[in-house]
Amino acid sequence: MKRSIVQIRPEDNVAIAVQTIPAGTQVRDGLVAKDEIPQAHKIALTDIPQGGEVVRYGVVLGYAKEAIPQGSWINEFMLDLPTPPGLDDMEYATNIKPYEELPDPPVTTWEGYENPDGWYAGTRNLLGISTTVQCVTGVVNAAVERMRKELLPKYPNVDGIVPINHAYGCGVAINAPEAKVPIRALKNLSKHPNFGGQMMVVSLGCEKFTVEKLLDAADISPENVIVLQECKGYDAMMNALLEMADKKLAILNERRRVTLPLSKLLIGMQCGGSDAFSGVSANPSAGYASDMLVKGGATCLFSEVTEVRDGVYLLAKRCVNEEVGKKLAAEMAWYDNYLEAGGVDRSANPTPGNKKGGLANIVEKAMGSIAKSGTAPIVDVLSPAERPAKSGLIFAATPASDLVCGSCQLSSGIGVQVFMTGRGTPYNLAACPVIKVCSRNEMKEQWPDLIDINAGPAATGEKDISEIGTELFHKIIAVASGKDQPFSEKYGLFNDYCIFNPAPIT
Ligand code: CA
């Protein structure tokens, strides 16, 4: 049955409008809308005094700047932000859900590409071309255009060629402590499971980010590395690039999908262009699918530090032990300092679109965002772009920026990303497919041929989270197995790799 407002918890004193509610509407017994309440925006369920708590998800979103009468529209200008939760006195491992209570996955195998390193398997068969510096981008792009025309048709089992262009490599403080983040990101990306263990690196020759910093010593050889300054002119560069790609493509062409357990599957979750429904429909559905994946043995990453910061105490209780909990606190503290050095805090996160979508502030956004983590225990915490070493649900610290989070998770090795959106974005990654899940029916109607899964019926009350979560689970398995493609992959809508470089540029 359709409903007109969504109240998450009994103790909440606000609810959100499923559709725009005209002023004067009787919303439910004893509640009349005093103002027009835009879709996804909040209505006051009770009189809230000046300085009083505004509560949604059972948590304090903020404090009323002025008295808010019952039935009023509550927008982002009416709340004072609470101070962020402390990091030093969190409870760890006090809310560990037993695995047997997680929802059972309907299938426990998928079809993927195994790799020589025995790590997570690939979901696509791609030639990845790593670069050590942005100076080589033009040459690499020109060569890739020729490879796609002249070489790729010979190798029908290869899905594509991915040049890893980025804005790093020279003119950077390579020995700065935080340079480890971009270096780790590029190093780990070169080993992405979709690249089949084939290394192809293009270097200029005089940059700070040397081949030795990118590759393990065993991988440094003329079979894997082309240095443009060592080539005699443009033609020689092109010939060297095409010749190396031809050899790598011939090897990749022999890869075949095999039936694998879910333990070989690594999935990333993130949200972007969120609205107040994201935490009601899309993110809880993703959380349900994540719980099924984790129960089946898969590994799921969720990320976006500024979007979990205000709910970190809830995540700390789900960390399997104090060691993991302290890693979580350390990642939060690192980001607090990073933002402070830039003269901002976590309140810099919400976008104009988020606010138009009814999200008053970062606390409300965070409560919706963490729903994508489901209910499973958190077995580990990663620094940005690290590769997971444990199976299960993992918090992988990254910025919340869609492109930077996506790129960091890609470096961590994800084979599929699941992306929840309220406002809509056509974003996609070149090295792994991205499944779009929207939070409301109107988004699906607006973009029927860009949104893969509509979680809107969970917002209106027409479907359960478990139903949409199961639908999403099946989509993830089909996409990972190469039996289905998300819309953005079908159209080839690939975004650039956006590196996270918290270190200085020189
Ligand atoms: Ca994001």
Question: What pLDDT sits at residue 472?
Answer: 98
Contacts of 261 (CB under 8 A, 6+ apart): 108, 109, 297
Range 434-454 burial, b when 16+ CB lie within 10 A, else e: bbbbbbbbbbbeebeebbbbb
Mean pLDDT of successive 10-residue stretches along the chain, which has 506 residues? 86 95 94 95 97 94 96 94 93 97 98 97 98 98 98 98 96 96 98 97 97 96 98 98 98 98 98 90 97 98 95 96 98 96 89 90 93 97 98 98 97 98 93 97 97 96 96 98 98 94 95
Ligand 1: distance of its center to the CA of 398 in Å?
Answer: 9
| Contact between residue 267 and residue 414 where contact means Cβ atoms under 8 Å apart | yes
Q: Which of 152, 185, 171, 392 is nearest to 253 (CA)?
A: 152
Tokens of 469: 């979560």
Alpha helices in 220-308 (DSSP H): 233-252, 282-295
Ligand 1: distance of its center to the CA of 489 in Å?
Answer: 19
Ligand 1: distance of its center to the CA of 369 in Å?
Answer: 9
* Identical topology for domains 5-80 and 126-252: no
Ligand 1: distance of its center to the CA of 405 in Å?
Answer: 6
Phi, psi of 203 (to 5 degrees): -120, 155
Ligand 1: distance of its center to the CA of 374 in Å?
Answer: 17
Q: What is the CA radius of gyration of the chain?
A: 24
Q: Where are the domains of the chain?
A: 5-80, 126-252, 259-491
CA-CA distance, 499 to 506, in Å (whole number)? Answer: 17
Ligand 1: distance of its center to the CA of 325 in Å?
Answer: 23
| Contact between residue 259 and residue 109 where contact means Cβ atoms under 8 Å apart | yes
Alpha helices in 161-281 (DSSP H): 180-190, 211-214, 233-252
CA-CA distance, 239 to 241, in Å (whole number)? Answer: 5
Ligand 1: distance of its center to the CA of 131 in Å?
Answer: 26
Question: What pLDDT sits at residue 347?
Answer: 85
Ligand 1: distance of its center to the CA of 370 in Å?
Answer: 12
Max CA pair span of the chain: 82
Structure confidence by residue, pLDDT tens digits, 444-472: 999 999 999 999 999 999 999 999 999 99
In the numeric block, the tokens 């406002």 are attached to: 423
Strand ranges (E), 376-428: 378-382, 393-396, 416-421
Tokens of 464: 């359960």
Question: How many C-beta atoms lie closer than 10 Å to residue 345's C-beta?
Answer: 15
Phi, psi of 221 (to 5 degrees): -160, 160
Ligand 1: distance of its center to the CA of 354 in Å?
Answer: 11
DSSP three-state, residue 110: strand
Ligand 1: distance of its center to the CA of 426 in Å?
Answer: 13
Strands of the sheet with 59-64, listed across from one edge: 53-56, 59-64, 79-80
Ligand 1: distance of its center to the CA of 316 in Å?
Answer: 21
Ligand 1: distance of its center to the CA of 304 in Å?
Answer: 6
Phi, psi of 226 (to 5 degrees): -120, 125
Phi, psi of 187 (to 5 degrees): -60, -50
Tokens of 328: 């979580």
In the numeric block, the tokens 């197995």 are attached to: 481
Write out the residues surrounding ion ligand 1, Cβ under 5 A.
270, 272, 400, 402, 405
Ligand 1: distance of its center to the CA of 60 in Å?
Answer: 23
CA-CA distance, 489 to 493, in Å (whole number)? Answer: 6
Ligand 1: distance of its center to the CA of 220 in Å?
Answer: 35
Q: Which of 111, 201, 126 is nearest to 161 (CA)?
A: 126
Report the DSSP beta bridge partners of residue 227.
Answer: 203
- The CATH architecture that domain 5-80 belongs to is Roll (2.30)
Q: Which stretch of DSSP H or E encloses residue 335?
A: helix 322-341
The CATH code for residues 126-252 is 3.40.50
Ligand 1: distance of its center to the CA of 399 in Å?
Answer: 8
Ligand 1: distance of its center to the CA of 406 in Å?
Answer: 8
Tokens of 2: 């359709």
